[in-house]
Amino acid sequence: MAKNSRPISSDAAAIPRCGYWAASAGGSKLASENSIGIAAGLLIGKPLAITSMCFIAVAPGICKLPLDLSWRHIFGASLLGDIGFTMSIFITNLAFVGQPELVTSSKMAIFLTSLAAGVAGCLWLQVFGKPLASDDDVETMDFEKQP
């Protein structure tokens, strides 16, 4: 954990509960094809797209990764990019007008997927985001001479 981080208090549970109720998730069908498709699209598609777009920008030299950043950090950040669910719920409300049961199950899938992505992103960066022995020491790097 970061040096300035604090232990999680019981108040931290209020955020997921508020998201749960905001999604109006009572009695939803989470095993439906729609919910599974939403979860797969968000958990697989979004991180894959973010990481791929970064690679497409870096590979031809359009931009460069900072010297102290690696692809394992990009992937961890792409998992965290999956957390926001406001736009997904907005689109769900537009897509499934007049189908309240489908809207409810979709909202619950979005909420749970966002929660899972947040946990996965934090765990990924906690485990794989630490500097490796093979990483160069950024403090001693000459930023004028890049590899």
Tokens 């985001």: give the residue.
129
pLDDT level of residue 145 (50, 70, 90 thresholds): low
DSSP state of 68: T
Residue 135 reports pLDDT greater than 80: no
To the nearest 10°, the Cα dihedral for 131, 133, 134, 137?
60
Q: Which tens digit of pLDDT belongs to each residue from 80-124?
A: 988 877 888 888 899 999 998 888 888 899 999 999 999 999 999
pLDDT-derived band of residue 11, with 50, 70 and 90 as boundaries? very low
Looking at residue 25, its pLDDT comes to: 47
User: Does 77 have pLDDT greater than 80?
Assistant: yes
Q: Domain-by-domain residue ranges, the chain?
A: 31-131
- CA nearest 110: which of 22, 9, 48, 8? 22
Q: Is the pLDDT of residue 144 over 80?
A: no
- pTM over cut 0.75: no
